């Protein structure tokens, strides 16, 4: 079984003034290739810290983070940046698009940073078609609706065909209709391209689109809520 | 990436325009100052060379830039010079700086001056002076001061009748009789310089060697006509230092403006830098992005500065025809390079700071 994500005894302690504030207290979990996983939990439970650690934006206090076979916990900034560039795509709650350039340029920028231009032209067209972005590419982000902006962000995140897509509250700024559209697109990407996706959310409805929910509390994974399986869209069972 | 750079510059038009203008002001400052100083030197050098003297003979401590000194020597030295083997003509000249006209006035002996210059003084209108209080001016002076033959000119608080206009490029812009200027200057029988013409060009080196080694002429400044330009530019006291000071000030302006612009830009765009980092952008990529943006700003500023310099030169020379400004391509290229380097240096710290930003903090920046 190939894991795209594996953490071992992962801890993260923030130093606030003279006080140590533990955010993660020994997190162990794995995500298989092609899995679509939701990480849920209340505010302050450590899920954002976990996402930032998985994305190599933070370094852990201790433990291992193995992304597609590379332990980024023991890697330097340069190596983590390379893993982020080659293997990870990010989607944020606030879209985080560059407001001054068009949707097309936002996506092209990600390809430029990636270096080898990621997916081939056909796949790029397919992705844009799937996300309903054809015809919107010349618009600047502020000329698009929230849902459209998030779809551009989604396209930017997957355009280089990353091993892992990390989404931080991707529907947090969207109404229910757009939330549904975005989550359905994430699921389509997962199905069509076997895209491994980890979504952080506190909305149960969002989590219903995923294969599995990992619940966190006080910097730890709560065992009793692991391994939910999706039966059909919008409903999940034990 | 070019799209992002251009859009960032267009995002804050006022700041962009101010930055570009500040860089261009620095460029204009250097180009015009260097252009003026080189133009004045070249003009003075050309006018001196056009006298066609083989050798210039001056008192000790004098300079070829006549405005800088008033040293004189007895006119009777002319007789001693004429005795030197190889010298054919000697013409004395006394100069006086007219503060009122902000111009040099030369007192010349027309006969010997024409002998040395081989009739280089070309009268375009009127005639050469005959009476003590007559003068001739060159065409540039006449045009810029709107004077013509028949008018009087106040020189050293005395009224001189303009009797002729000569072709510019030789001697000074205003020529008066030598004896009159000696009288007004309280320098009777004195001269500032002797223009020497040798019997032929082959004798110049011999005569020069004699004048510089003979005890009789010891302590005087002797310059070969062919060395005028070199001697003038190398002996000008303080010009290089002053030019350097102007360059440093202009470079500092460019440096500080770009530093401030890029620093505020980086602070404003903290979140965008976080996004770039989340996309996997390397530190080098971010530094390169900021540097390119600042170089684009500086390049536009440099381009505008060069255009403004040329426009200012055109306007100034039309308004003040006697003001020589020499714009040289190599100087303009050098100034452009200096401005670009200072712009790059000014953006280096903000670029480095951007590259060092913590990605998580940057992404959370409001």
> What ranges do the domains of chain B cover?
2-42+239-364, 60-219
Beta bridge partners of A19: A16
Instruction: Give the closest of A96, A102, A105 to B275, CB-based.
Output: A96
Tell which of A46, A58, A101 to mutate to test the B interface (max B CBs under 10 Å): A101
More reliable by pLDDT, A215 or A224:
A215
B239 pLDDT exceeds 90? no
Mean pLDDT of chain A: 87
B237 pLDDT exceeds 90? no
A225 pLDDT exceeds 60? no
- Residues with Cβ within 8 Å of B131's Cβ and at least 6 positions away in sequence, in order, are B161, B177
Asked if B10 reaches chain A (Cβ–Cβ under 8 Å), the answer is yes
Q: What is the pLDDT of residues A114-167, one digit of tens each?
A: 886 556 777 777 888 888 888 888 999 999 999 999 999 999 999 888 999 999
Tell which of A85, A138, A155, A162 to mutate to test the B interface (max B CBs under 10 Å): A85
Q: What is the ipTM of this complex?
A: 0.86
Query: Domains in chain A: how many in total?
Result: 1
Asked if B285 reaches chain A (Cβ–Cβ under 8 Å), the answer is yes
Provide the pLDDT for residue A233.
45
Residues 15-74 (A) with a CB less than 8 A from some CB of B: 52, 55, 57-58
3-state secondary structure B30-85: HHHHHHHHHHHHHHHHHHHHCCCCCEEEECCCCCCCHHHCCCCEECCHHHHHHCCC
Beta-strand pair A229-232/B87-98: unpaired
Write out the residue range of the structural domain in which residue A173 sits: 3-237
Q: Which residues of chain B does A92 touch, with a Cβ-Cβ cutoff of 8 Å?
A: 278, 363
Tell which of B16, B270, B276, B278 to mutate to test the A interface (max A CBs under 10 Å): B278
Asked if B275 reaches chain A (Cβ–Cβ under 8 Å), the answer is yes
Q: What single string gives the DSSP state of each residue in A69-86?
A: TEE-TTS-HHHHHHHHHH
B61 pLDDT exceeds 80? no
CA distance A184 to A202: 17
B271 pLDDT exceeds 90? no
Q: B93: how many CB neighbours lie within 10 A of its CB? A: 25
**Contact state of B279 with A85 under an 8 Å Cβ cutoff:** yes
For A56, nearest residue in chain B (alpha carbons): B278
At A231, the pLDDT band (50, 70, 90 cuts) reads very low
Provide the pLDDT for residue A224.
59
Report the residue count for chain A: 238
Q: What is the pLDDT of residues B84-139, one digit of tens each?
A: 999 999 999 998 887 666 678 999 999 999 999 888 899 999 999 999 999 999 99
Q: Which residues of chain B does A88 touch, with a Cβ-Cβ cutoff of 8 Å?
A: 280
CATH code for the domain of A195: 3.40.50.300
Asked if B363 reaches chain A (Cβ–Cβ under 8 Å), the answer is yes
Q: How many CB pairs under 8 A join A and B?
A: 63
């Amino acid at each position: 079984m190939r894991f795209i994500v594996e953490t071992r005894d992962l801890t993260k302690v923030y130093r606030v003034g003279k006080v140590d504030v533990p955010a993660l207290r020994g997190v162990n979990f794995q995500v298989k290739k092609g899995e679509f996983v939701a990480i849920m939990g209340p505010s302050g439970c450590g899920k954002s810290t976990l996402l930032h650690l998985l994305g190599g934006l933070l370094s852990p206090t201790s433990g291992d983070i193995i992304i597609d076979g590379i332990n980024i916990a023991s890697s330097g900034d340069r190596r983590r940046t390379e893993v982020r560039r080659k293997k990870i795509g990010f989607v944020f709650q606030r879209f985080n698009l560059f407001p001054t350039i068009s949707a097309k340029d936002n996506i092209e920028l990600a390809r430029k940073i990636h270096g080898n231009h990621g997916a081939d032209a056909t796949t790029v067209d397919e992705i844009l078609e799937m996300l309903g972005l054809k015809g919107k590419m010349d618009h600047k982000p502020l000329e698009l609706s929230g849902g459209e902006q998030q779809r551009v962000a989604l396209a930017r995140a997957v355009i280089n065909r990353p091993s892992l897509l990390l989404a931080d509250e991707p529907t947090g700024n969207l109404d229910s209709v757009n939330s549904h559209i975005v989550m359905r697109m994430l699921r389509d990407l997962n199905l069509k391209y076997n895209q491994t996706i980890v979504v952080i959310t506190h909305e149960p409805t969002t989590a219903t689109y995923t294969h599995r929910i990992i619940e966190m509390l006080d910097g730890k994974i709560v065992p009793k809520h692991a391994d939910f399986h999706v039966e059909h869209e919008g409903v999940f069972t034990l | 990436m070019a799209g992002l750079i251009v859009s960032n510059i267009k995002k804050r038009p006022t700041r962009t325009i101010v930055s570009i203008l500040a860089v261009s002001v620095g460029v204009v400052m250097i180009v015009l100052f260097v252009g003026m100083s080189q133009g004045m030197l070249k003009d003075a050098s050309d006018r001196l060379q056009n006298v066609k003297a083989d050798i210039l003979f001056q008192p000790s401590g004098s300079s070829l830039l006549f405005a800088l000194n008033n040293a004189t020597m007895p006119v009777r030295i002319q007789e001693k010079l004429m005795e030197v083997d190889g010298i054919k003509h000697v013409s004395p000249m006394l100069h006086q700086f007219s503060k009122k006209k902000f111009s040099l006035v030369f007192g010349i002996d027309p006969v010997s001056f024409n002998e040395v210059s081989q009739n280089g003084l070309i009268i375009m209108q009127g005639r050469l002076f005959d009476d003590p209080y007559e003068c001739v001016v060159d065409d540039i002076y006449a045009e810029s001061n709107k004077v013509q033959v028949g008018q009087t000119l106040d020189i050293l608080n005395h009224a001189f009748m303009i009797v002729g206009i000569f072709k510019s490029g030789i001697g000074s812009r205003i020529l008066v009789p030598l004896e009159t200027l000696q009288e007004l200057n309280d320098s009777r029988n004195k001269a500032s310089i002797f223009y020497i013409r040798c019997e032929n060009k082959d004798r110049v080196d011999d005569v020069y060697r004699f004048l510089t080694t003979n005890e009789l002429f010891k302590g005087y400044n002797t310059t070969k006509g062919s060395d005028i330009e070199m001697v003038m530019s190398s002996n000008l006291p303080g010009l290089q230092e002053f030019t350097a000071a102007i360059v440093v000030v202009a470079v500092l302006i460019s440096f500080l403006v770009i530093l401030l612009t890029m620093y505020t830009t980086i602070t404003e765009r903290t979140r965008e830098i976080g996004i770039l980092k989340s996309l996997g952008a390397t530190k080098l990529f971010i530094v390169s992005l900021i540097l390119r943006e600042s170089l684009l700003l500086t390049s536009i500023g440099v381009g505008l500065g060069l255009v403004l310099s040329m426009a200012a030169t055109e306007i100034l020379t039309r308004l003040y025809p006697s003001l020589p400004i020499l714009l040289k391509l190599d100087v303009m290229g050098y100034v452009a390079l200096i401005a670009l380097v200072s712009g790059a240096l000014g953006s280096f710290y903000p670029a480095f700071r951007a590259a060092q930003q913590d990605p998580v903090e940057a992404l959370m920046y409001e």
